[in-house]
Amino acid sequence: MSILATLAAVSGATGKRISDPARLQSWGTAAQYQLIHSVAALVAANTMGQTRAGRWGAGLFLAGISMFSGSIYLLTLDPARFGKTLGPVTPLGGLCFIAGWTVLAVGTRGRLR
């Protein structure tokens, strides 16, 4: 499958309409974290991309997006199918977010003046 086909499939999955208010709130949380950390990954990659901290920070943010937001999206779409396997993945994504911010904090120490 080409990268364009993969992106089209992901786009189609995220375009699903959610009518249950509880599920819509979960979807919104996943989208919010995805957007915030996408921007953080872009900033880390563009401003610190040549440093180890920039590469690790951006990579951890992208891993966190995949695990945290991705698992919430799938759990929202089909909780019966994905509940047992993806439930434990969400906190691991959150840990990736925390690790990404920590790496950037340590990596920028003394560099931003």
Q: Kindly provide the b/e burial profile for residues 22-42, where b requires at least 16 CB atoms within 10 angstroms of the residue's own CB.
A: eeeebbeebeebbeebeebbe
In one-letter notation, the amino acid at residue 68 is F
- pTM for this predicted structure: 0.80
Mean pLDDT over residues 72-93, rounded? 91
CA atoms within 13 A on the CB side of 18: 18
H helix intervals, 49-88: 52-64, 70-77, 79-86
Percent of the chain with pLDDT strictly greater than 70: 81
Model confidence at 8: pLDDT above 80: no
Say yes or no to pLDDT of 97 above 80: yes
